[in-house]
Amino acid sequence: MMHRSIALRFAITAFAGTALILAGLGVYLSRSVETHFAELDRAELTGALNHLAYMAQSGGTPDMATLLEQVRTMNMGHGALLVRIESRDGKILADTLGFSPPALRYDASRSTLVSATADGRNYRLLTAPFEAGRGRVLRAWVAMNIDHHQTFMSLFRNALWTAIGIALLLSLALSALAARWGLAPLDRLRMLLREVSGAHLAVRLDPADLPRELAGLAAEFNQMLARLDDAFRRLSQFSSDIAHELRTPVGNLMVETEVALGKARSIEEYQEVLYSNLEELRRLTAMIADMLFLARADNKLVTPNRERIDLQRTVADLCQWFEASAEEHRLHLIQAGTAGIEGDRMMVQRALSNLLANAIRHATPGSDIHIGIEHTGAAEVTLSVSNAGAAISPEHLPRLFDRFYQADPSRTRKGEGSGLGLAITRSIVEAHGGNVTVSSADGTTEFRMRFPTGATSG
Amino acid sequence: MRILIVEDETKTGNYLRQGLGEAGFLADLARDGLDGMHLAITGDYDLLILDVMLPGLDGWQILQTVRHAGKAMPVLFLTARDQVEDRVKGLELGADDYLVKPFAFAELLARVRTLLRRGQTREPDSLRVADLEMDLIKRRVTRGGQRIDLTAKEFALLELLLRHTGEVLPRALISSQVWDMNFDSDTNVIEVAVRRLRAKIDEPFGHKLIRTVRGMGYVLDDPAQTP
């Protein structure tokens, strides 16, 4: 389907409709006028024939010439009627017609109306048999010139079609106008949307300003703008966060190196500087790798392998991996449930590892961390990690998965990971077609990762 | 042991040659694909380190030519691309290992040593450093004749350190080899695990065998023998 202009489509549809109706009307009108004339003519010719029959019967055996004369003068002002009287075998007994009527298979008992043209003139003829005394049956033709009808009809038709043509042109213009007028709100919408730009995403359309048909569209636009606004804000927040996160270690590296080079030092001192730089660089490298992973996930470039993952085993492996670390905080890792999903084992490990690291970091020392595996739907498995600890206030919850987001801005991140762990967890879960949520109440914080059990989504 | 490095990035090439040279290898450096291929075929190298993106010939082509010429030395690929397809392609073409840039030098060194050792040594029955002995058959560890009880993971960690005596093992390599965790993790799990192992095999004894190399990883060696 071509993307023609809506106004053009409206106009064409309206025009075609009007044209069809007007043409139908024109045809109907000229038909009925014509029929009306034919009826009039038939009445007149029938009258003449009846008169002829009557005269023939009542007047004994009339002279044909008298008959002719009587009928001829019956005419009601449209010029003389023409008459031909034939015997049954076709012999012409009297004739003012002067031409042969069209040959037709006429019904001997009924009168039939026909048209004929002779010498460039148009006639309408009616024929019927009649009794002419002494049982003799004759056939009479009565004809009248209908040129004046034809002339009228052609004038009438001309006038009619001209009027229809003008009406059509008018309707075309009107429908074009109507279309343009009807679509004017779209133009307004366009002008409003033109104001939208990266720096100006706060524009909202007022549905009350727009016709009913566009109000829904405007609402959708508003929601889209809100989502874009949010995404854009997060993105620019992310950019500034990156700059900030990178600035600190790079600044440290620079100052440290400058100071080290400020005077001659012992080998041990140089080594110390290099070691310290190495640690800083390692952190930077890890952060860059994480950011790359997230960027690729954002661009849907992270494609998980599809393999069967035994979650019970995966969780057990991770618990073993975190065991020592948990014990340092006097924490117990308790796992329950079993299920299998299809996905990327390494990525799922990583996602869960980030949640576990987070739980160990924030759990109240001496408490238990529960890792649950459960079927939460026909084709859904939920992996949950819950720990006891200070509740996270509700306004922070949805943003916990944002990059570099910290519920407590005053806390330093030193030694606590890159601040990208939960964002990576979310990217991984979403790359698997699942979702991750967090809730915090009554001193328990719980993260829930929901995975579809079947194939991973792309 | 002779190693050929084919790397066009000047700084990377230089530090690889210097680093491997200082680690005791004879390292040659080719800066483009054609030189690299020529050297690889004519020279007698025990290991190739190939960058994938190279001027002239790329790493894949060098690998194919080298294998075609009947050379079976191990090949380690370096690439900035971390796509799965690259990994699969490299391994299909007969690469032996694969390292994504940027990488830690300790990681490279550990992998180079593993590749060079592959298929060479007979599986030993026991490992020993100083007075620390690990019986691989009875799965028993003693130090100075004194039995030390280790958990399965502690045993695996110590075994890894013993098998790579004198080599710095990066954290990523340890988590991959001991726990089969093959992802970057910002946790202190390895630190804690090593600390616990030390508490058992080092702290009760006179001299410490496990050292932390800051920013790089861990190494187990006999301080009495290190120069």
Domain boundary among B65, B88, B117: B117
**A6-155 architecture in CATH?**
2-Layer Sandwich (3.30)
Q: Confirm whether B13 is domain-assigned.
A: yes
> DSSP E strands: which ranges in A242-355?
307-310, 332-336, 340-343
In this structure, the number of other CB atoms found within 10 A of the CB of residue B193 comes to 25
Residue of B nearest to A413 (CA): B186
The pLDDT of residue A104:
61
- CB < 8 Å to A286, chain B: 184, 186
Q: Give the strands of the sheet with A332-336, arranged side by side.
A: A332-336, A368-377, A380-388, A444-452, A435-441
- The Cα A30–Cα A23 span in angstroms is 11
- The DSSP bridge partners found for residue A67 are none
A254 vs B206, which has greater pLDDT? A254
pLDDT tens-digit series, residues A102-143 = 766 555 555 667 788 877 788 888 887 777 766 777 778 888
Let me know whether B140 and B102 are in one domain. Answer: no
* B68/B92 same-domain check: yes
User: Which of residues B7 and A410 earns the better pLDDT score?
Assistant: B7
User: A307-452 — its CATH code?
Assistant: 3.30.565.10
Q: What is the pLDDT of residue A89?
A: 75
Q: In the predicted model, what is the mean pLDDT of chain B?
A: 86
Indicate the residue among B97, B117, B137 that finishes a domain: B117
CA distance linking residue A335 with residue A371, whole number of Å: 5
Question: How many angstroms separate the CA atoms of A316 and A310, rounded?
Answer: 10
Domain range enclosing B52: 2-117
Q: Please give the pLDDT value at position A350.
A: 92
* Spatial CA neighbour of B6 closest among B26, B39, B27, B29: B29
- The set of residues, in sequence order, having a beta carbon less than 8 Å from that of A171 and lying 6+ positions away, is A14, A15, A18, A19
Cβ of A325 within 8 Å of Cβ of B187? The answer is yes
User: What pLDDT sits at residue B160?
Assistant: 92
Query: Cβ separation of B186 and A325 shorter than 8 Å?
Result: no
Q: B186 vs A305: CB contact, 8 Å cut-off?
A: no
Count of domains forming chain B = 2
Q: How many CB pairs under 8 A join A and B?
A: 64
- Is residue A415 within 8 angstroms of chain B, CB to CB? yes
Q: How far apart are CA A80 and CA A333, in angstroms?
A: 123
- Residue A272: Cβ within 10 Å count: 15
Query: Which residues in chain A have their CB less than 8 angstroms from residue B196's CB?
Result: 324
Q: Complex ipTM, two decimals?
A: 0.74
Q: In A, which residues are within 8 Å of B193 by CB distance?
A: 324
Q: For B67-91, what is the mean pLDDT? A: 76
Q: Are the C-beta atoms of B30 and B5 separated by less than 8 Å?
A: yes
User: What pLDDT is attached to residue A300?
Assistant: 78
Helix (H) or strand (E) holding A86: strand A82-86
Q: SS3 letters for chain B? A: CEEEEECCCHHHHHHHHHHHHHCCCEEEEECCHHHHHHHHHHCCCCEEEEECCCCCCCHHHHHHHHHHCCCCCCEEEEECCCCHHHHHHHHHCCCCEEEECCCCHHHHHHHHHHHHHCCCCCCCCEEEECCEEEECCCCEEEECCEEECCCHHHHHHHHHHHHCCCCCEEHHHHHHHHHCCCCCCCCCHHHHHHHHHHHHHCCCCCCCCEEEECCCEEEECCCCCCC
Contact A158, A81 (CB under 8 A): no
Of B117, B142, B167, which marks where a domain is finished?
B117
Mutate which of B81, B176, B184, B195 to test chain A, going by most A C-beta atoms within 10 A?
B184
pLDDT number for residue A457: 42
Place of tokens 């048999």: A129
Q: Are B214 and A346 an interchain contact pair (Cβ–Cβ within 8 Å)?
A: no
Q: So what's the architecture of A209-298 in CATH?
A: Orthogonal Bundle (1.10)
Contact B185/A350, CB-based, under 8 Å? yes
| In a shared domain, residues B135 and B96 | no
Indicate which of B87, B108, B179, B187 best probes the interface with A, i.e. most A CBs within 10 Å of its own CB.
B187
What six digits make up the tokens of B186?
Answer: 């910002």
Query: Residue B80: which CATH number?
Result: 3.40.50.2300
b/e burial code for range A278-295 (CB count within 10 A of at least 16 → b): bebbbbbebbebbbebbe
Residues B15 and B87 in one domain: yes
Looking at the domain assignment, is residue B227 inside a domain? Answer: no
Asked if A281 is an interface residue toward chain B (Cβ–Cβ < 8 A), one would say: yes
* Low-confidence residues of chain A: pLDDT under 50: 1, 411-415, 455-458
Shared-domain flag, residues B74 and B160: no
* For residues B165-191, average pLDDT: 85
d(CA A126, CA A115) in angstroms, rounded, equals 9
Q: Residue B163 maps to which CATH number? A: 1.10.10.10
* pLDDT, greater one: A383 or B81: A383
**What does the alpha-carbon distance between residue A452 and residue A1 come to, in Å, rounded to a whole number?**
38
